[in-house]
Structure 1
Amino acid sequence: MNGIKSLFLQKIANWQRLVYKALVLLVCLFIINIQPAFAGIKDDNFDGNIFVVYAGNGSLVPPRQTLAQTLEEHKPAFLAFYVDDSKDCKEYAITISRVQEFYGKAAEIIPISVDTIPAQKTYAPTEVGYYYSGAVPQVVVLDQSGKVVLNKQGQVPFEEIDDRFREVFDLLPRTESVQLKRRSFNEFSSELSK
């Protein structure tokens, strides 16, 4: 009887080793089949908020105000339509951040992920969907009265946006003006450390 019992226990032990080996093999195959998440500025893969990842500027999203609030205050607005998984938008995030550096205090910078625009048949001029043309990136500059002074698709150069804002704010043209100074986002105040 002891011989049969020991043979039975030996078969169970062999069976357990076989199941263990099969589980290890399945886990290894699963790990090998997992594709790494590769994303970068030169592809159309999602890797997070483009302003944080590629422009180093998390202060752009969410915007401080809606377009309706901005127009109600008669403040100029800069609308930047984008998607987070577009190569062109990833590359253009730096320019949008640059616009904020120079005009962020005087105008409202409103980046809009087109995925968040509600699907409607018509939009009011106080809604961002009113200005969206169906392509990204797209920029729209509105003056203090809400009139469109620039509406372009693609990677619009900063200089062209700067020219429109100079007209809106009645500034000298770039050719006749001193170079604009950037404002720092991470200034250290010595008064706070006292």
Structure 2
Amino acid sequence: MMMRACWNWRRWLSVFCVAIALWSIAVTPAWAKIDDDKYDGNIFALYAGNGSLVPPKVDLKQSLAAGRPTLLVLYLDDSSDCKGFTTTVSQLQAYYGRVANFVPVNVDSIAMKSEFDRSDPGYYFDGFVPKTVVFDDGGEVRFQGRGQVTFETLDDVFREIFNLLPRSESLELKRRPLNEVNTELTE
């Protein structure tokens, strides 16, 4: 009889602990913020709604060897500037993702070496994030920018690379509004 009472007590205690754990998960709000320097996870999935960017489909060396225009973005997951820039990168991928490679690289993953070659992302890292580098199909650097570069600036570079009409002579590419999930997370 004593053994059975002890078993019931342990059983109820374990059920109670599981219930408390499930309740705490269900009622704990998400604390992700786009305007702080805290780690929230994959910033491209969380703030741009585009988890397809990380990890990139090809690395910088492969992209340059393939002769495709490339957008290299050096970023940190715990940088508010990088979090804010993710939507611009995602919007550019929507327009140019089929004809150009997008290579986001977390600077924490760059190996510490004294020298890098031109096909290594570490070659372009100068201590600032986000850092954006655009290469043409010949592997030449066509643009380097620090901080949150505007969509229009990068669009102009891609228009030049692909020999498209300038913005003043063609339809303006307009940004799509963020979906409700992203809007709620970033407010």
Pick from 76, 81, 92 the counterpart of residue 88 of structure 1.
Answer: 81
Q: Would you say 1:141 and 2:141 are equivalent positions? A: no
- Distance (whole Å) between structure 2 residues aligned to residue 140 and residue 55 of structure 1: 19
Q: Distance in 1 between matches of 2:144 and 2:87?
A: 19
| In 2: Cα distance, 1:182 partner to 1:145 partner | 29
Q: Which has the higher contact order (CA 8 A, sep 6+)?
A: 2
The TM-score normalised by the length of structure 1 is: 0.72
The residue correspondences of 1:37-186 to structure 2 (distance < 5 A) are 38-180=31-173
Question: 1:182 and 1:86, CA in 2 relative to 1: closer, same or farther beyond 3 A?
Answer: closer
Which structure has the bigger radius of gyration?
1
Considering only aligned residues, what root-mean-square deviation do their CA atoms show, in Å? 1.8
Structure 1 gap segments, 5+ residues each: 1-35, 184-194
| Moved segments of 4+, more than 3 Å | 36-39, 179-183
SS in 2 for 1:46: coil
State, as a whole percentage, how many aligned pairs show the same letter: 51
**Residue-pair matches, total:** 148
Change (3 A) 1:45 1:146: same
Distance in 2 (CA, whole Å) between partners of 1:58 and 1:39 is 16
Map 1:27-46; keep pairs closer than 5 Å: 38-46=31-39
Measured after TM superposition, the shift of residue 41 of structure 1 is 0.7
